[in-house]
Amino acid sequence: MRVGIVGGGAAGLMAAATILETAPETELFLVDRNNGLGKKVIISGGGRCNVTTGIQDVRTVLTRYPRGGKFLSKAMYHFPPADVFAWFEAHGVPLKVEEDLRVFPQSDNGKDIVGVFEKMFRSLNVEILLKHSVESIAKNGEGFRMNFKGGDSLDVDVVVLTTGGQAYRHTGSTGDGYAFAMGLGHSITKLAASLNAFYTSETWPAEVSGLSFEKAEFRTERDKKYSFTGPFLFTHKGVSGPAVFALSSLVAFENYDAKEPLKIEIDLFPDLSKGELVELIESKIETAGKKSFLNVLAMVVSKSLAEIVVRELHIVSGVHAAEVSKKNVLRCVEWLKGISLNVVGRGAGDEFVTAGGVKLEEVDPATMESKICPGLYFAGEVLDIDGYTGGFNLQASWATGRLAGQSIGSR
């Protein structure tokens, strides 16, 4: 059996490794337009490679996918995060689970993850075709013909499309896989960027750029209400961090710009009611009433943010805290529990993935084989699957690549 895998990212690497483990006699061709394998894997997590998540419960893991969680169920139970962890450690890469449950190589070097596959492929029956751009894929009798730019072609029995999405175009993820899938009879959903930072029309976040919070609730409402609670930070252009990335994923298909901004609210104290936060500030005033209100507010939030609060609410910052009215204390609380920002653009996030892809109804979730074109398989981001930041997108790629590889290896 001759198998052609198009795309040397996480899903393609795992599919190839699994085929070689289960059916080592397979003639395997791994095609990638880059000059090396796993470019996007290496740069993920800031070059450290957020391999998977430390969350063990598969049902909980599946809730981390705004799109595709139900489809992923079989693949995820088949190759859950714990098994991914064990697989890489068994192949010589010690991993670690950080406090936020992200999993990284102990070396903090994404090249070690890709190195597992490079070492494996050197000793097994796989032909790696780097700097090869596939131009088209067509049915050829019972198999397929892969046509390359430059005029060469390759005939195979099985094709696996693991071309990724269209984010990080400099790593080769240009969206060609969607065209190949459509050429073989598949449908592609609407596509959008996901896991991005937010740029705001307000400029004051630049004054507190780098100020971070371990827990805040983000809310927005367009066609539906969306909310997410988690860490974030202010940036020179707006807001970023895990909670922002998650919310951006939920609103991936919303259009927003300077003419029609996306209005968001941030609650910096999601675990406190307004009344409780009022009590907290008033207790500070009772013990430090002779201090300026600004300095008392700076006991609750950073001074740089306190300065913005009093300025935005036109409260005299130098007045003694004891002289500030209860009404103004309440106004401060309402501001801190509902910071209003207008999002006018998207910025690069930690991962930046594509929401949307090959329609899941057209793919068998138990095998990853096309229901439309026998012998065609899919894995990874080319499918209409995307997760939050924290290792979930790589986990989906490992799991779907593993399932596709085992399905092919047992043909």
Could you read off the pLDDT of 38-62 as tens digits, one per residue? 998 998 888 899 999 999 999 999 9
In the chain, which residues fall in CATH 3.50.50.60?
2-192+354-409
What is the pLDDT, as a whole number, of residue 319?
A: 86
Average pLDDT over every residue of 214-219: 97
What is the pLDDT, as a whole number, of residue 169?
A: 42
Average pLDDT over every residue of 352-374: 95
Q: What is the pTM of this model?
A: 0.90
What is the pLDDT, as a whole number, of residue 350?
A: 57
What is the pLDDT, as a whole number, of residue 172?
A: 42
Q: How confident is the model at residue 390 (pLDDT cuts 50, 70, 90)?
A: very high
Q: What is the pLDDT of residues 301-341, one digit of tens each?
A: 999 999 999 999 999 888 889 999 999 999 999 999 999 99
Q: What is the pLDDT of residues 92-112, one digit of tens each?
A: 999 999 999 999 999 999 999
Q: CATH second-level architecture of 274-336?
A: Orthogonal Bundle (1.10)
What is the pLDDT, as a whole number, of residue 170?
A: 43
In the chain, which residues fall in CATH 1.10.8?
274-336
| Top-level class of domain 2-192+354-409 | alpha beta
Stronger pLDDT, 65 or 150, i.e. the higher one: 65
Helix H, strand E, coil C: the string for the chain is CEEEEECCCHHHHHHHHHHHHHCCCCEEEEEECCCCCCHHHHHHHHHCCCCEECCCCHHHHHCCCCECHHHHHHHHHHCCHHHHHHHHHHCCCCEEECCCCEEEECCCCHHHHHHHHHHHHHHCCEEEEECCCEEEEEEECCEEEEEECCCCEEEECEEEECCCCCCCHHHCCCCHHHHHHHHCCCCECCCEEECCEEEECCCHHHHHCCCEEEEEEEEEECCCEEEEEEEEEECCCEEECHHHHHHHHHCCCCCCCCCCCEEEEEECCCCCCHHHHHHHHHHHHHHCCCCEHHHHHCCCCCHHHHHHHHHHCCCCCCCEHHHCCHHHHHHHHHHHCCEEEEEEEEECCCCCEEECCECHHHECCCCCEECCCCCEEECHHHECCECCCCCHHHHHHHHHHHHHHHHHHCC
Q: What is the pLDDT of residues 57-82, one digit of tens each?
A: 999 999 999 999 999 999 999 999 99
Q: What percent of the chain clears pLDDT 90, i.e. is strictly above it?
A: 87
Q: Taking 50 as the threshold, does the pLDDT of residue 168 lie above it? A: no
Stronger pLDDT, 60 or 354, i.e. the higher one: 60
Q: How confident is the model at residue 171 (pLDDT cuts 50, 70, 90)?
A: very low
In the chain, which residues fall in CATH 2.40.30?
196-270+339-347
Average pLDDT over every residue of 387-404: 97
Average pLDDT over every residue of 237-262: 95
What is the pLDDT, as a whole number, of residue 351?
A: 56
Fold classification of 196-270+339-347 is Elongation Factor Tu (Ef-tu); domain 3 (2.40.30)
Instruction: Out of 102-111, 136-145, 168-177, pick the least confident.
Output: 168-177
